[in-house]
Structure 1
Amino acid sequence: MKNIFLLTLLLQAAGFSAVAQHKPNMVIFIADDLGTIDLPAYGNKVVKTPHLDRLRKESLLFTQAFAASPTCGPSRSSLLTGLLPMRHGAHGNHSGVKEGTRSLVHYLQALGYRVAIAGKLHFGPASVFPLEHIAGTNTIEPGFEKTPGLHYDLNLGPVDEWLGKAGHNKPFVLLVADHSPHVIWPEKATYDTAGIDVPDFHINTPETRKSRARYYTDITKMDGNVGRLMALLNKHGLSQNTVLMFTADQGPQWAFGKWSLYDYGIRVPLLVKWPGVVKPGTQTGALVSLVDLLPTMVEIAGGTPPQNIDGISFYAPLQKGALQTHRQTVFASHTGDGMMNRTPMRMLRTTRYKYILNIVPDTLYNTHMNKARDHDGGREYWDSWRKAAFTGEHAAAVLWHYHHRPAEELYDLRADPSERRNLAADTAYTELMQQFRKDMETARRQQQDTVTGPEVIIKKTGPPLAPYIF
């Protein structure tokens, strides 16, 4: 007994406790602009992701996980605060959350965790997110040293060193935020355009397949980083005591994806590997939001979930292997992205139906995809879509739907997973529409969401509140 007591004192003197030893580490890999349906784990037959395929066999797969916003900054801020965008304040892209907001860093540090990030940042201010930054994890792609723009890669070399030093004396939370498959996609594709699949809500042109081949190449590139991260956890003997999660901030920069509340923009992949707790190779249809990760992680760490947030912990059923249901509805919002994508909208989604409220329906929907001419997030193929719309009925319908958003939209996801048939005006759904309207009013009131138009842009001088990288 005396020896055990002395050993405990020695461990505590080293900043290390026997209790801390048994707390699991938590690692979240966040892909950037990734469509759930573009992964083999979710049914895609073309894309190659061998490392995610292996992780899927070792994990619980969520089929109905959703971001809080279809825009990078607001989505990441929600994941790390457990608050929906209107409540944390960074509802417009590139904006910072309200000063004084508590984040995952505060909650987990109080429970004895180190909290660090590698890769992309894109949230702020630093006072709300006092993360440990692993330097050197953002590298400029070769050839773009003088004009990096969006040409950044994730470098896991420094993570290897950090895990070697930090992995055993204190539990940690590590965010690994990749830059892929965010545009700009690799110029040289590794996929043959002849074998590329095109979603039925897009327009199949040679230019579309060329861009899609580049996008798929970037997904496979991201998958390589997932594999490297898993190898590093194994190398440092951390895999068995680490909860490893894989997700994305929102959908890809394709029509009806990013900056929209259709499933291609708001539904995200979510895999959770927890050796000895989560049964490998399983899946759940439970409806969850990324804001639910924070309270769940607090409970995994042995704490009590905060009561004043929007996230709801799914820790108990996750631990018991009985995560069949969670939420009845998921709320998400979009307000804008600077001077583009200024068509605010709100969403309520159940496991079967989706209701979208478009706040300024008379405004034509435009995004970087069809407007920006300075990068390839649409420039390469959009003219071919316009041309096709003059001669093809399907192409014309796609572009009309893209630009024109009615005041209300209702979709039966079971019968219409591509969200192409708006049922809002169908009298057979009058009662359902009335309930959704009532629920939307309640949700917006709870969020103190009084927005009636696009985000208000306040020009500020000095460094950005939510820098893209660190």
Structure 2
Amino acid sequence: MTAKQPNILFLMADQMTASALPIYGHPLVKTPHLSRLAAEGVVFDSAYCNSPLCAPSRFTLMSGQLPSRIGGYDNAADFAADTPTFAHYLRDAGYTTALSGKMHFCGPDQLHGFEERLTTDIYPADYGWVVDWEDFETRPSYYHNMSSVTQAGPCVRSNQLDFDDEVTFRARRFLYDYVRNGERRPFCLTVSLTHPHDPYTIPQQYWDRYSHDDIDMPRVPYSRALSDPHSERLRHVYQLNEETLGDEQIRNARHAYYGAISYVDDRIGEVLATLKECGLEEDTIIVFSGDHGDMLGERGLWYKMSWFEDSARVPMLVHAPGRFAPRRVAESVSTMDLLPTFVELARDGVAPEYAAPIDGRSLLPHLTGNGGHDEVIGEYLGEGAIAPLLMIRRGRYKFVHTAPDPDQLFDLAADPLELNNLAADPAHQGLCQEFRNEMASRWDYGRLYHDVIASQRRRKLVARSLMKGKVTAWDHQPVFDASIQYMRNIIDLDDLERRARFPVVSSDRP
């Protein structure tokens, strides 16, 4: 292990689709800070989430394990306290670990290895959003509907702006306190913003960064012929039919989404400026990623919850120019690979004996240009589904299987928009059978289905019962001790001002 373990600054954006970023070729969206990191860093051109829904994607990212292994099925799944996370491993390796922002932990444990959690979460920590595959037609009120699109446009203030402004402030305060307090341990600071997640609204200044007439429309509009059964179920879940939206509403939503991406970039810029002001830039590895994408009207779909590229593919980059030369990585990787990557970065490239099985694989070979894997395994077990949707992405192909529906096979090299399902093509039957055989060996499909149903039944009962009588919230409550903040009589004024000022001023300064 090196004498100085690197700091790790992990930046996350929620529901940011890779195709909307200029680092992946979008001609309109403006992200100067992310673009600089990409130009100086290692950019992953084919990075995916392992479950295209907030909570299961984040549980998988945190644990390096697939949702089926840890019971992380949907947005109300319990994330067990004994599941090791990258925060546990890094803390065990001598790091101070902190989270500012969203991670959508469900259950009583709201820390999961983080020594400090600087904000509450924007989403509830209880089981109230449990999915019910046994009663698909009854639509819970919490499901996405189309109001995010029909009401898209500028705003003065929103719930998400309140949250992300606080996330940014607390993250910057953490960095200032880190250097002022003389902390000797390296840090892993996770800064997780909730933009550009819907609802699609953003202040006028960000709306005005883009000409409305320049906003591009979906490349693949909705058509019945192109749709598939799972996509039609998703449209049912968020109450979308062929008469719901007009072109202007679609353009408004995409316009606001692009503005929200620029808002995220500005907040990231503030954190990066603070990192530099504190003299921490050279010793810090910066990682940026998302939890899943957003369909943004492509194929008549919105939000996430499917294995199509705009839903499942995420941005990912690693910025450490003193360690890794700038390059692009073409091989397919996933956010599940971040845990072993973080742990090996903290241990000078040496993998530990993991306390639980790890499904992810380290990205260090990719970062150093010494090979690396080219495979993503995925599971979707949440809303809009009626049975597990399993995915394998390898080489040029993506294969998707769910028992109720026809299989899907796409050649992404020849067909990046996924317009031609090859699963029924006689020339690809051998390849499809190979994928089916692999899935049969990886998963006990029937058992997984019944495990999900059993979990849903348990959580429905628990959620219902805990809302009766006295309600005890699981939501994280940040505590700030005002008795030791700012000016107090427990410390000499001059001493307090000296400690709070950075850089430190010499006492013999003329």
Q: In structure 2, which of residues 193, 198, 201 is the aligned counterpart of residue 178 of structure 1?
A: 193
Q: What secondary structure, in the 3-state scheme, does the structure 2 residue paired with 1:284 have?
A: strand
Partner of 2:314: 268
Total equivalences in the alignment:
398
* Residues 14-163 of structure 1 mapped to structure 2, 5 A cutoff: 22-125=4-107, 126=109, 129-136=112-119, 148=159, 152-155=163-166, 156-163=168-175
- Hey, what's the Cα distance between the residues in 2 that align with 1:261 and 1:468? 35
How has the CA–CA distance of structure 1 residues 198 and 452 changed in structure 2, closer, same or farther, with 3 Å as cutoff? farther
- Deviations along 1:269-326, whole A, 9 cap, x unmatched? 111011311113x1111221211111111111115242721011132452xx214441
Identity of aligned residues (%): 32
- Deviations along 1:422-442, whole A, 9 cap, x unmatched? 111110001100101011112
Tell me, yes or no, if the aligned pair for 1:444 and 1:450 is still in contact at 8 Å.
Answer: no
How has the CA–CA distance of structure 1 residues 151 and 83 changed in structure 2, closer, same or farther, with 3 Å as cutoff? same
Amino acid at match of 2:284: T
Q: Does 1:441 align with 2:440?
A: yes
Deviation at 1:99, TM superposition (A): 4.0
Amino acid at match of 1:180: H
Q: Does 1:248 align with 2:290?
A: yes
Structure 1 stretches of 4+ with a deviation exceeding 6 A read 137-142, 452-455, 464-470
Tell me, yes or no, if the aligned pair for 2:118 and 2:478 is still in contact at 8 Å.
Answer: no
How has the CA–CA distance of structure 1 residues 134 and 256 changed in structure 2, closer, same or farther, with 3 Å as cutoff? closer
- Hey, what's the Cα distance between the residues in 2 that align with 1:52 and 1:468? 31
How has the CA–CA distance of structure 1 residues 183 and 175 changed in structure 2, closer, same or farther, with 3 Å as cutoff? same
Q: What secondary structure, in the 3-state scheme, does the structure 1 residue paired with 2:99 have?
A: strand
Tell me, yes or no, if the aligned pair for 2:378 and 2:390 is still in contact at 8 Å.
Answer: yes
Amino acid at match of 1:133: E
Amino acid at match of 2:221: H
How has the CA–CA distance of structure 1 residues 78 and 64 changed in structure 2, closer, same or farther, with 3 Å as cutoff? same
TM-score, L = length of structure 1:
0.77
Amino acid at match of 1:310: D
* Residues 323-342 of structure 1 mapped to structure 2, 5 A cutoff: 323-327=370-374, 329-337=375-383, 342=386
Deviation at 1:449, TM superposition (A): 3.2
Deviation at 1:186, TM superposition (A): 1.8
Structure with bigger RCO (C-alpha 8 Å, 6+ apart)? 2
Tell me, yes or no, if the aligned pair for 1:244 and 1:274 is still in contact at 8 Å.
Answer: yes
Tell me, yes or no, if the aligned pair for 1:151 and 1:184 is still in contact at 8 Å.
Answer: no
TM-score, L = length of structure 2:
0.72
Tell me, yes or no, if the aligned pair for 1:123 and 1:468 is still in contact at 8 Å.
Answer: no
Amino acid at match of 1:94: A
* Residues 167-316 of structure 1 mapped to structure 2, 5 A cutoff: 167=179, 168-186=183-201, 188=204, 189-190=207-208, 191-202=210-221, 205-252=247-294, 254=296, 255=301, 258-280=304-326, 282-302=327-347, 304-305=351-352, 306=354, 308-316=357-365
User: RMSD over aligned Cα, in angstroms?
Assistant: 3.0
How has the CA–CA distance of structure 1 residues 448 and 174 changed in structure 2, closer, same or farther, with 3 Å as cutoff? farther
- Hey, what's the Cα distance between the residues in 2 that align with 1:163 and 1:452? 43
- Deviations along 1:61-103, whole A, 9 cap, x unmatched? 0011111110000011111101011111111113222342111
Amino acid at match of 1:322: G
Gaps of 5+ in 2: 124-154, 223-245, 480-510
Question: Bigger CA drift: 132-141 or 35-44?
Answer: 132-141
- Deviations along 1:347-406, whole A, 9 cap, x unmatched? 111120111112333xxxxxxxxxxxxxxxxxxxxxxxxxxxxxxxxxxxxxxxxxxxxx
How has the CA–CA distance of structure 1 residues 225 and 468 changed in structure 2, closer, same or farther, with 3 Å as cutoff? farther
Deviation at 1:256, TM superposition (A): 6.5
Tell me, yes or no, if the aligned pair for 1:287 and 1:351 is still in contact at 8 Å.
Answer: yes
Partner of 2:501: none
- Hey, what's the Cα distance between the residues in 2 that align with 1:112 and 1:172? 9
- Hey, what's the Cα distance between the residues in 2 that align with 1:143 and 1:431? 55
How has the CA–CA distance of structure 1 residues 136 and 73 changed in structure 2, closer, same or farther, with 3 Å as cutoff? closer
